[in-house]
Structure 1
């Protein structure tokens, strides 16, 4: 079994590792630690071609109070997909409500936060990937003890609290007591802020509060004084954080992060609404809106429509190419045979004045011919597969 290489809560170290001396320290620290990656290939090379790398952040709850930690089953109290646009140097953060209704293998209908409890990070990654129809390349998990220690290590996080937050859960040992106003939250109060759930608007308001906290944390981390706190941060996360990233991938991640500013980060929430089903409260995603949003934030395709025509005569190739296009965020509107099977070279016909569509599609094909479709009356890019498709 692969050992976890404990190297960082993404929200925090993604930026903390980026500072000059901190970057050097991190490099030395990571290289000096041995990690068994079992020959796992880096996703960075492929992501640099296609533009996006997706990392799932799982903030774990306290689990069952009093349970032996070795056998405790933690749910994900917070679930965020970080989609890194490596080409345009941007980060999109998609929050997934913990009550999102999904079907888990062998467990049936469940809320998505149960995936972590039933199958650990592996099942959580698989569930999110299936829900959003996107690849999830890596995961990062962090518990609340680690979260509090990290906030304390960076000197707290300044944030404007908009409402009175008061709640006591004696069974869960959770006590929240925050007053409105601009203030610096230490680790204890930061935990109260992100865990508060009793909003009139429900869990969506909680998600917005968490997103607000993420941006405030980034701002705090970018303070020059925090450069000197990086050794302490790394010590904390090594004890409280797990990830399947390799050391070299973290170095690449840090190199990417140091090129970002606050303006390069955007936050989103999974589209949908709350419903009671069988007496249980669920969050039900709106599939069409989810697809549109994913196309925008994970692919930058914004719903580019594609028709795939088989002009090669090879059975099944149009469906294979269509499936690959869909996995990259394109919207395939037609799969059919071309007017003949005599095409030798694959051709991409793009709508008038939309050559950028063809360039995006050409990335997955083997040097296709690219032409403007002068007769096109709609906004559809057409691929006519030739016999050279077998060389792909």
Structure 2
């Protein structure tokens, strides 16, 4: 009898010891993840400075209180000895009360006032002229809404992020060839190099820039989905390394934690839309012209989503004579 009790006691001690190792190991793993995330957050954090802020808020956004907020997503194609231009311009408005995210793509050739430069030009030139700050100010003025945060992605390193999450899944609706790679119609799994080619093609798409924007949104959605999955924990080192090298934002780690904890379910309800206009040559340069009524309609839609009052202020699209 005593021998049986002793054996059971030994088994219990062994089981508890094994559990202890797993618990301690899990704690060390959790600490390692947190430490590395914290270090990455510091590397990618780049506050905005010297902003004109054409559209100011009456009170500062507080993520802890689940306030609606906006984010400017810039995909910058950097080249050697060239800062590059923001060829991808996407504005997200996030509203936890409406349980939704509005996702607007702005064509890079959109003709508008470049705030801080005093000229009328393509909206994507704002980044080349004045970095993130001028891009935020210009988009803010164009849409008539405050831009609270930005996320800038280096498109050359974009493929590293895709590879780090194990590739992306997209549903292609147009067969085309780009960079010697053929993309068939249907569900596709793409690696980083393929995703970059897939997201850049526009000349062979009858929808032009809008077709390209749609493919970019697909990839962003897939990255978010993959990054949020539990399987990404096993490759978190690769993900953080790719992020630290290719991304900048004015969001702090505390901001990111608040968004993850208080807004996380909203990513399943993203409403994508576009701003309509027409292409036109002006002085030998191709521009995308957005009618004022369309710009106002889009502006008011975003304001409503941010729970801000509608306005009727116009935006300059022609250089004063």
Q: 1:99 aligns with which of 90, 100, 109?
A: 109
Question: Structure 1 residue 119: deviation in Å?
Answer: 0.7
2:177 aligns to what SS in structure 1?
Answer: strand
Richer in helix (by share) = 2
Question: Structure 1 residue 286: deviation in Å?
Answer: 2.5
CA contact (8 A) 1:43 1:53 kept: no
2:137 aligns to what SS in structure 1?
Answer: helix
1:103 aligns to what SS in structure 2?
Answer: strand
Deviation digits for residues 209-244 of structure 1 (CA, Å, limit 9, x no counterpart): 222333333343344322333343122211211112
1:192 is matched with 197
TM-score of the pair, normalised by structure 1 = 0.61
2:74 aligns to what SS in structure 1?
Answer: strand
Gaps of 5+ in 1: 1-20, 169-174, 303-327, 334-392
2:206 aligns to what SS in structure 1?
Answer: coil
Q: 1:78 aligns with which of 88, 91, 95?
A: 88
1:108 is matched with 119
2:278 is matched with 273
* Distance verdict in 2 for CA 1:60–1:79, change over 3 Å: same
1:205 is matched with 211
Question: Which whole-Å CA distance do the structure 2 matches of 1:209 and 1:80 have between them?
Answer: 13
Question: Which whole-Å CA distance do the structure 2 matches of 1:156 and 1:119 have between them?
Answer: 33
Question: Structure 1 residue 332: deviation in Å?
Answer: 7.3
CA contact (8 A) 2:46 2:249 kept: no
Question: Map of 1:144-159 to 2, 5 A cutoff?
Answer: 144-159=155-170
2:38 is matched with 30
1:61 is matched with 77
2:226 is matched with 220
Question: Structure 1 residue 205: deviation in Å?
Answer: 1.9
2:148 is matched with 137
* Distance verdict in 2 for CA 1:255–1:287, change over 3 Å: farther
* Distance verdict in 2 for CA 1:48–1:94, change over 3 Å: farther
Q: CA RMSD in A?
A: 3.3
* Distance verdict in 2 for CA 1:267–1:120, change over 3 Å: same
Deviation digits for residues 300-351 of structure 1 (CA, Å, limit 9, x no counterpart): 389xxxxxxxxxxxxxxxxxxxxxxxxx332479xxxxxxxxxxxxxxxxxx
Q: Is 1:183 equivalent to 2:188 in the alignment?
A: yes
2:62 aligns to what SS in structure 1?
Answer: helix
* Distance verdict in 2 for CA 1:39–1:98, change over 3 Å: closer
Question: Which whole-Å CA distance do the structure 2 matches of 1:160 and 1:112 have between them?
Answer: 29
Q: 2:61 aligns with which of 22, 40, 44?
A: 44
Question: Which whole-Å CA distance do the structure 2 matches of 1:284 and 1:246 have between them?
Answer: 36
Question: Which whole-Å CA distance do the structure 2 matches of 1:154 and 1:228 have between them?
Answer: 10
TM-score of the pair, normalised by structure 2 = 0.73
CA contact (8 A) 2:87 2:108 kept: yes
2:207 aligns to what SS in structure 1?
Answer: coil
Gaps of 5+ in 2: 1-28, 51-58, 314-321
CA contact (8 A) 2:48 2:133 kept: no
Question: Structure 1 residue 248: deviation in Å?
Answer: 1.7
1:256 is matched with 262
Q: How many residues align?
A: 273
